[in-house]
Structure 1
Amino acid sequence: MGWNTTAIFAAGWTTDRLLELAPDDLRHRPTGELVGLDEAGAAFPGGRLYVREDAGWAQLWDPELRVMPFAPEPGRDGLAAPGTRVLGVIFASVSSTYGFWYVEDGKLVRQIVFQDGEPVQDDGEPLPVESGIEFPEWGPDEDFVFAVIRAVTGFEPDDEPRYAVHEVD
């Protein structure tokens, strides 16, 4: 499966607080349905956001890339507040774009985005996990992003139905 999604992980946040990062014109409502990660990371059936809380981290997955997880500006959305730990990732297999940004104690400590195997954004010192990842010949892919997610959040992907579905209007 090719992954095409953005995801934001925020330590100590609730999913409701994380959903506030959605653009103002992106109205959403919970359906009461729970799905697995394969669906939360896929753009079908469309018109949905997916949220989960796990081990102290709230997660927001957006397979239509409407909630972009780029480094915050100071004071914006509370992402750059002291004490905040946030990891934002992008998987875009169609455009071969993979990357992440990581905020610790309200400051951007690392941001790297690859497109077609080449870095197009590279700020901050590499995280320790980055030195242990061997890229395939075509460059970084989903394995790279999931390795960073595991190292920063402790999250282990599974496909248990644990992602709450929010339909988007």
Structure 2
Amino acid sequence: MKPNRYLAALACAGLVAGTVSLSQLGPVGFVSAAYAKNGGGNGGGNGNGGGNGGNASGHSADHGKSAEAHDKNDAKSKEANALGALNAAHASAKARAHASPNSAVGKIATYEKSREAALSLQDPAAQQQALETAEAKLAASFGMSSLSPEQVSQVNTLLDARK
């Protein structure tokens, strides 16, 4: 073999051996195969960089309507905060039917059954006593000493709306 061909064959063999050995080392300063696929890596591959370029956001500079919407939401969130854990009354009838008895939704479901039984009583005095007992048990199940008339009314309204 001539020396030039010998050197060329030796260089090719060295390149092949080097490539094989580098691939066994894993990602050493090179992009590994796992990150080479489209959307791999930490970028998520979803584009839409979300930069803050001028005139690119498409949002109105007029805050009048937004401020009104925030005021309305604040009133709703204050009502929701007043209910606290009793917000479980927002759950659907199906969710209440399948809820664990110890969960917040399950406690509301237990109250709902007690309330319905109380409302089915014909005697007004017995009905009132059963309703008060159901409300007291609901309060106790959530670790409260009692419920305000507003809380009871809100829970009952939510339950009646989601039958």
TM-score by length of 1: 0.20
Max Rg structure: 2
The answer to which structure has the higher helix fraction is 2
Larger RCO of the pair (alpha carbons < 8 Å, separation 6+): 1
